[in-house]
């Protein structure tokens, strides 16, 4: 496989993008909130960033950050009434929110209705302009300009993913992360311990929404074309599937789910007509045999104990 092939680089780039999106749903689920509104927050970030970068000539990454903040503000506004709900009621409310956002975007002139926005500046082009200004050109590396732009986008996404993952792991080990874990384990007990449950649930909801909004902005400027239907019900199911298949107990679960579900369509490209059937079989199989996902909190502990046991047996045999 030609690693520097622009198509392959784009596949790897989308794996990283969906991995960041998986972290966003993981953070929301870390307080036990079943939110189906991530596609809606993603669309807010995508269209806000696109309008600012294309029509207001705002610097690309500033526009993406503002798109994430816009998603966070909307999350704050809808979070106050909806986070009082639990379980399926919260899921239905946030799913309805996402559909309302999609219908609004379909009927707004500034978003160009159902046709969406096209001709957006790509992250590869934006970064390549900086590279040329620093004297780094594709010809000097012996690759084409298209390869250079695709490689630059991929490297940027690797760095961004590494930063987001590092911050998430630090969050899990912090006092805030332990509060999230306590609320997810037993909300009543957490409240009895003096934790402000509503505050922490709102905070997790906003952090996850901001991250989803940033992912929307990144998606828009990687594909350079977006429509409201890019963030419909199917996107909701896809995002939630990362956590369902991989598991939501540890951050590695949704990341594994994102990797599998993003790479699977490429592996099954020759069986495209059976793709949804394969998705369904995987979902049913996981929920039947691993209802908490393929990767749980005890997965690495069991693996470590198994390796430790093998090492101990080998040491005894050598004596």
Read off the pLDDT of residues 49-100 as tens digits, 9 standing for 90 and up.
999 999 999 999 999 999 999 999 999 999 988 888 888 899 999 999 999 9
Is the Cβ–Cβ distance between 37 and 98 less than 8 Å?
Answer: yes
User: For position 242, what pLDDT does the model report?
Assistant: 92
User: For position 174, what pLDDT does the model report?
Assistant: 95
Question: In which element (H, E) is residue 191 found?
Answer: helix 187-192
- Domain boundaries, given as residue ranges, for the chain: 6-231
**CB burial class (10 A; 0-12, 13-18, 19+) of residue 181?**
middle
Per DSSP, 121 falls in state P
- State how far the Cα of 209 lies from the Cα of 268, in Å rounded to an integer: 31
Helix (H, G, I), strand (E, B) or coil at 236: helix
- State how far the Cα of 10 lies from the Cα of 157, in Å rounded to an integer: 11
CA angle 103-106-108, nearest 5°?
110
Is the Cβ–Cβ distance between 16 and 219 less than 8 Å?
Answer: no
User: For position 38, what pLDDT does the model report?
Assistant: 94
The segments of the chain whose pLDDT lies below 50 read 1
Q: pLDDT digit string (tens) for 177-203?
A: 999 999 999 999 999 999 999 999 999
User: For position 303, what pLDDT does the model report?
Assistant: 62
Distances in whole angstroms, Cα of residue 89 to Cα of each of 85, 156, 236? 6, 39, 16
User: For position 300, what pLDDT does the model report?
Assistant: 63
User: For position 75, what pLDDT does the model report?
Assistant: 96
* pTM metric for this prediction: 0.90
Task: Tell me how crowded residue 232 is: count the other CB atoms within 10 A of its CB.
Answer: 15
Q: Which two tokens stand for residue 51?
A: 């309008």
User: For position 26, what pLDDT does the model report?
Assistant: 96
CA angle 213-218-219, nearest 5°?
95
Q: Which two tokens stand for residue 180?
A: 């999230």
Is the Cβ–Cβ distance between 60 and 251 less than 8 Å?
Answer: no
Is the Cβ–Cβ distance between 41 and 206 less than 8 Å?
Answer: no
CA 7 to chain centre: 21
């Amino acid at each position: 496989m030609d690693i520097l092939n622009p198509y392959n680089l784009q596949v790897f780039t989308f794996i990283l993008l969906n991995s960041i999106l998986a972290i966003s749903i993981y953070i929301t689920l870390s307080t036990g909130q079943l939110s189906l509104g991530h596609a809606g927050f993603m669309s807010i970030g995508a269209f806000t960033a696109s309008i600012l970068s294309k029509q207001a000539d705002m610097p690309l990454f500033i526009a993406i950050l503002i798109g994430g903040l816009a998603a966070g503000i909307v999350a704050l506004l809808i979070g106050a009434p909806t986070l009082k709900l639990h379980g399926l009621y919260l899921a239905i409310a946030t799913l309805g929110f996402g559909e309302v956002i999609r219908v609004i975007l379909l009927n707004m002139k500034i978003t160009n209705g159902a046709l969406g926005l096209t001709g957006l500046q790509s992250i590869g082009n934006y970064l390549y302009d900086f590279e040329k200004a620093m004297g780094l050109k594709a010809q000097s590396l012996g690759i084409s300009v298209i390869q250079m732009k695709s490689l630059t986008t991929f490297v940027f996404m690797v760095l961004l993913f590494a930063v987001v993952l590092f911050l998430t792991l630090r969050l899990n080990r912090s006092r805030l992360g332990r509060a999230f874990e306590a609320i997810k384990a037993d909300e009543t007990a957490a409240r009895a311990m003096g934790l402000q449950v509503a505050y922490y649930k709102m905070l997790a909801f906003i952090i996850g929404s901001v991250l989803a909004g940033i992912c929307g902005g990144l998606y828009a400027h990687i594909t350079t074309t977006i429509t409201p239907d890019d963030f419909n019900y199917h996107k909701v199911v896809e995002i939630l599937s990362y956590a369902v298949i991989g598991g939501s107990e540890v951050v590695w679960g949704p990341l594994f789910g994102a990797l599998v579900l993003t790479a699977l369509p490429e592996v099954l490209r020759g069986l495209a007509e059976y793709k949804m059937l394969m998705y369904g079989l995987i979902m049913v199989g996981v929920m039947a045999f691993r209802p908490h996902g393929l990767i749980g909190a005890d997965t690495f502990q069991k693996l470590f104990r198994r390796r430790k046991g093998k090492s101990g047996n080998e040491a005894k045999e050598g004596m």
